[in-house]
């Protein structure tokens, strides 16, 4: 089996360890003897996304998001088609914002998104920053995602589902307790950290749906995740101890 990962704008969207997500996906495939190709997709590249199995977009500063937004106009049609066909896409923070309709930094400065997600983002007047814990039922009962967020954009969902519910931290906007967004096989989230090494079950879920789309139902052999699980458990214990939540 072979997985082709499309890494979009590695030169512009790579904040707070986002590249670690690519490393985690690659390692978790290699440990299972699954071949991996990482295809970097940069500004100006002509890409039809047809033979990409898993696409990744990291976070970025406002000025870099502006450059990406311009370039995405040329890729938008093919990307929307690929998503409708079931492409797996993980987008973090700045990348997530650009999958929505727009990111309004000010009345005069609005960055266009590609509208895959029925959501929009407006800049707030304080940064939403810190550790974050999200209850993530899509990963199973009593499942959590842990990470770190740092954004001033506040994202509001219209007719689409959140990834989970904020337990600690701010999430999409610091107001409605919603975090991230899911549409088909597209997952948008504010969790940096990097997300996937900290949450290996989410990494495996993404690998599974990407490979199953290409090869039919794929079952991944479990990996030895003792350190990953201990790290996550320590994080949850530290922040949830006052919340009396079981995990």
Sign of CA dihedral 6, 23, 167, 245: positive
Which residues, other chains included, contact 178 with Cβ-Cβ below 8 Å and sequence gap of 6+? 157, 162, 165, 166, 171, 172
Residue ranges in 11-30 that form contacts with ligand GLN under rule CB under 6 A? 15
Site for ligand GLN in 116-135 (CB under 6 A): none
Which two structure tokens, joined as six digits, stand for 176? Answer: 């409605």
- Which is closer to ligand GLN, CB of 149 or CB of 228? 149
Strands, DSSP E only, in 61-117?
88-92, 102-106, 109-112
Tell me: does residue 59 bind ligand GLN (CB under 6 A): yes
Nearest-CB residue for ligand GLN: 59
Number of residues that bind ligand GLN (CB under 6 A): 12
- Residues 135-164 contacting ligand GLN, CB under 6 A: 150-153
In the complex, minimum distance from the CB of residue 89 to ligand GLN, in angstroms, rounded to a whole number: 16
Nearer to ligand GLN, 43 or 218 (CB): 43
* φ and ψ of 173, to 5 deg: -150, 0
Which of 61, 81, 84, 109 forms a contact with ligand GLN (CB under 6 A)? Answer: 61
Min dist CB 88 to ligand GLN, Å, is 20
Structure token digits, residue 115: 């509208």
Residues in the chain: 247
Nearer to ligand GLN, 78 or 150 (CB): 150
Residue 137: DSSP 8-state: G
How many angstroms separate the most distant Cα atoms in the chain? Answer: 51
Identity of the residue, 94 or 147, whose beta carbon is nearer to ligand GLN in the bound complex: 94
CB-CB neighbours of 143 under 10 Å:
16
DSSP class per residue in 170-228 = -TTTSSS-EE-EEETTEEEE--BS-HHHH-HHHHHHHHHHHHHHHHSS--PPP---HHH
Q: Which is nearer to ligand GLN, 151 or 232 (CB)?
A: 151
Task: Give yes or no: 93 in active site.
Answer: yes
Q: In what order do the strands lie in the sheet with 181-183?
A: 35-41, 2-8, 54-57, 88-92, 186-189, 181-183
**By the 8 A CB rule, do 202 and 164 touch?**
no
- Please identify which of the residues 93, 151, 170, 181 carries the catalytic annotation: 93
Query: Is there binding between residue 62 and ligand GLN (CB under 6 A)?
Result: yes
Q: Which of 6, 17, 20, 60 binds ligand GLN (CB under 6 A)?
A: 60
Among 24, 25, 93, 119, binds ligand GLN (CB under 6 A): 93
Least distance in Å: CB of 26 to ligand GLN?
Answer: 22
Q: Which is nearer to ligand GLN, 16 or 53 (CB)?
A: 16
Provide the annotated active-site residues.
Answer: 93, 192
**Residues within the interface to ligand GLN (CB under 6 A):** 15, 59-62, 65, 93-94, 150-153
């Amino acid at each position: 089996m072979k997985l082709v990962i499309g890494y979009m704008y590695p030169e512009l969207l790579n904040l707070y360890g986002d590249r670690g997500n690519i490393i985690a996906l690659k390692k978790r495939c290699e440990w299972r003897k699954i071949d991996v190709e990482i295809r970097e997709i940069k500004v100006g590249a002509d890409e039809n996304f047809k033979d990409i199995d898993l696409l990744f977009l990291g976070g970025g500063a406002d000025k870099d998001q502006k450059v990406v937004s311009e370039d995405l106009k040329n890729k938008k049609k093919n990307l929307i088609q690929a998503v409708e066909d079931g492409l797996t896409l993980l987008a973090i923070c700045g990348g997530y914002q650009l999958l929505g309709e727009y990111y309004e930094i000010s009345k005069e400065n609005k960055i266009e998104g590609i509208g895959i997600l029925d959501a929009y983002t407006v800049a707030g007047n304080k940064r939403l920053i810190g550790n974050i814990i999200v209850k993530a039922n899509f990963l199973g009962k009593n499942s959590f995602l842990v990470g770190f967020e740092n954004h001033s954009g506040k994202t509001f969902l219209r007719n689409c589902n959140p990834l989970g519910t904020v337990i600690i931290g701010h999430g999409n906007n610091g107001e409605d307790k919603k975090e991230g967004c899911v549409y088909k096989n597209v997952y948008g989230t504010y969790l940096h950290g990097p997300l996937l090494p900290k949450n290996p079950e989410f990494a495996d879920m993404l690998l599974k749906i990407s490979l199953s789309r290409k090869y039919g139902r794929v079952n991944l052999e479990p990996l030895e995740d003792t350190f990953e699980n201990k790290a996550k458990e320590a994080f949850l214990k530290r922040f949830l101890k006052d919340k009396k939540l079981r995990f």
